[in-house]
A and B are shown apart, each in its own frame.
Chain A
Amino acid sequence: NAGVMQNPRHLVRRRGQEARLRCSPMKGHSHVYWYRQLPEEGLKFMVYLQKENIIDESGMPKERFSAEFPKEGPSILRIQQVVRGDSAAYFCASSNNSGTGIGNTIYFGEGSWLTVV
């Protein structure tokens, strides 16, 4: 859904550098999800955030990865000291709340493709 904005769309980093991926949710949405997709594989949940709160980070690798969703500005997924295995598509999605109903469908951004060389 064009309403969720991710940047950069493509990012190349050398091993050991840092990668920062940004996500602005759809207008009115206060819940953000990050997913990783390796080539030819499914979407893997990483982290679920609300403004200034990490609700569930059970899918995040224990080291080098962090996420935030500040009161002002986009959500940031940060990968420190990148390795070749971090090369993947990172999708952000947003919803307006986590309650019931079709109104709480999550909508995806176009993704950020990270390549580590």
Chain B
Amino acid sequence: GQNIDQPTEMTATEGAIVQINCTYQTSGFNGLFWYQQHAGEAPTFLSYNVLDGLEEKGRFSSFLSRSKGYSYLLLKELQMKDSASYLCAPRRNNYGQNFVFGPGTRLSVLP
């Protein structure tokens, strides 16, 4: 099985930087995905890490430490439109529930 933990809610100010953490325990680890979900909409893909280290993509970066079972999503220069839920999804390399999402972190960006 899998055990995925994220903070439930976070608040930050427009223009600031926020880090959303995710810890996980899973067997057969095969990469970690981050998705963004606005209220009432479908999740959309943000980033993917399979090796340790930082992957940067514009204002969003994602970090992975496989030995610690830890990842974070870093959002810079926050904008109001970044208010959404952010879902962490470690993937397994076998067929059983190989794409299970964490509970999600609801981020509110304030002016």
Contacts and interface: CB of A to CB of B under 8 A. Distances in A.
Interface of A: 1, 33, 35, 41-43, 45, 48, 55-56, 58-59, 91, 93, 95, 98, 100-102, 104-111
Given A43-B43, A56-B95, A98-B98, 9 more contacts: A42-B101, A43-B37, A48-B99, A91-B42, A93-B99, A100-B30, A100-B50, A106-B45, A108-B42
Contacts of A100: 30-31, 50, 93
Given A42-B87, A42-B101, A105-B48, A111 B95 contact: no
Contact of B87 (A43, A55, A59): A43
B95 A48 contact: yes
A80 to B, nearest CB: 24
Contacts of B93: 100
Contacts, number: 63
Interface string B93-104: 101111111111
Interface of B: 30-31, 33, 37, 41-45, 48, 50, 87, 91, 93, 95-104
B26 to A, nearest CB: 13
Contacts of A109: 42
A105 B30 contact: no
B101 A45 contact: yes
